[in-house]
Amino acid sequence: MTSPIDVGILGATGVVGQQLASLLDGHPWFRLSWVAASERSAGRRYGDLPWRLPGLVPATAARLTVSPLDPDNAPVILFSALDAGVAGEAETAFARSGRIVVSNARNHRLDPLVPLVIPEVNAGHLSLLDAQRRERGWSGAIVTNPNCSTVFVAMVLAALDGFQPSRALVTTLQAVSGAGHPGVSALDILGNVIPFIPGEEEKIERETRKILGRLDNGGVADAAMVLSAQTTRVAVHDGHTALMSIALDRTPSIEEVADALARFRGDAEVSALPSAPAAPIVVATGHDRPQPRLDAWTSGGMAVTCGRLRRCPVLGYKLVALGHNAIRGAAGAALLNAELLVSRERRLRATQAEAVAWPAEARAMDPLPGTLSPV
């Protein structure tokens, strides 16, 4: 690209919004030029607001003035880290105004016309955008990434697709950072396990089946597999662990399962994206891995680490999967989805007189400056 694309963040003052600001600092394709948040923060300098991450606020972000949640003056590509209480209406308003909203919020994930995407797993679901704009009358669009634990579970099951997974039991041990700030009271979590996270079990069970589903008549037919989830909150700062037992209709050896996980990749386009890890799933060989403290930051937090592959006397196979909930499970997942959208638009512009996937208003705003070549 001749110059970076201006992007913005909705809900920039929360933990996920701050993770996005951090990941966008120095990004080769994107330049953070606009941040928005609630009325409490609007009008204030971003760098003057509380920063919850290690280190300092990125200098470019720090100089920005926080805007209200209004589409006026917003760039074409927006990352949404909004709380679910306001995300539904706000994201719809921005999509209606011609913006491309790449959302981490739950509100639109199960909308039959909204892609719920993990690029290595179901990049083809982006084709829902044509029907989304046509039926909703939006000039922009909404694309979502899954719940933080769902990302890791779905990636494992997708890697094992060749063995035909039919049933799975999942128990999660989820880090306190997944609850945002201020999150869980120290008196509740220290020395304790909380066996309930509102809505999490349903998200894993329903979102995973949509992600693994197939495109059918302009929508997604959910995967037929049966998935049962239990979710817990544990006294870990970052990193969600998933204990998985899986029934495979084929009967591979443990070595074949390990090999399928280690060889799992997206297509060439996805692998070339700036934030894509070289290996989306890393197989740990130690008997006591993965561990959040040691493995959550594998590949900058963008890879899932799997270990303890062994036989399960009930379902056949079991393993432990771990991912960084704030990176691959949230901000990094949204960033990778945005990169995929831009990559596909670049290819369209390189091969067609007019890019049919990008809305007319977005093309008029010229979000992809300069002459673009195929990825």
> How far apart are the C-alpha atoms of 12 and 82, rounded to whole Å?
8
The model carries a pTM of 0.93
High-pLDDT (> 90) share of the chain, %: 89
Q: Which residue of the set 27, 108, 125, 148 is catalytic?
A: 148
Stretch 86-94: mean pLDDT: 97
Q: What is the pLDDT, as a whole number, of residue 165?
A: 98
Q: How far is CA 319 from the centre of its chain?
A: 22
311 is written with which tokens? 């036989």
Residues 6+ apart with CB under 8 A from 182: none
Stretch 329-341: mean pLDDT: 98
- pLDDT(369) > 50: no
Q: What is the pLDDT, as a whole number, of residue 217?
A: 86
- Whether omega for the bond prior to residue 290 falls within 30 degrees of 0, making it cis, is yes
Higher-confidence residue of 372 and 72: namely 72
Q: What is the pLDDT, as a whole number, of residue 235?
A: 97
- Residue-wise pLDDT tens digits, 21-79: 999 999 999 999 999 999 899 999 999 999 999 999 999 999 999 999 999 999 999 99
- pLDDT(373) > 60: no
Confidence band, pLDDT 50/70/90 cuts, at residue 371: very low
Check if 240 is active-site. Answer: yes
Stretch 184-204: mean pLDDT: 97
Stretch 142-170: mean pLDDT: 98
Q: What is the pLDDT, as a whole number, of residue 348?
A: 76
Stretch 92-106: mean pLDDT: 97
**Greatest Cα-to-Cα distance within the chain, rounded to the nearest angstrom:** 62
- Residue-wise pLDDT tens digits, 167-182: 999 999 999 999 998 8
Stretch 193-218: mean pLDDT: 96
Q: Beta strand pairing status for 304-312 and 316-323? A: antiparallel
Confidence band, pLDDT 50/70/90 cuts, at residue 351: confident
Mean pLDDT of all residues belonging to the chain: 93
Write phi, then psi, for 158 (nearest 5 degrees): -65, -40
Q: Where are the beta strands (DSSP E) in the chain?
A: 5-10, 30-36, 66-67, 77-80, 100-103, 141-144, 165-174, 193-194, 214-216, 219-221, 226-234, 240-248, 281-283, 304-312, 316-323
Angle of the 148-159 helix axis to the 200-211 helix axis, nearest 10:
40
What is residue 139's DSSP assignment? Answer: S
Residue whose token pair is 């979710």: 231
Write phi, then psi, for 28 (nearest 5 degrees): -70, -20
- pLDDT(18) > 90: yes
- pLDDT(160) > 80: yes
Stretch 187-204: mean pLDDT: 97
- Residue-wise pLDDT tens digits, 282-306: 999 989 999 999 999 999 999 999 9
- pLDDT(106) > 60: yes
Check if 181 is active-site. Answer: no
Q: Which residue of the set 108, 125, 240, 324 is catalytic?
A: 240
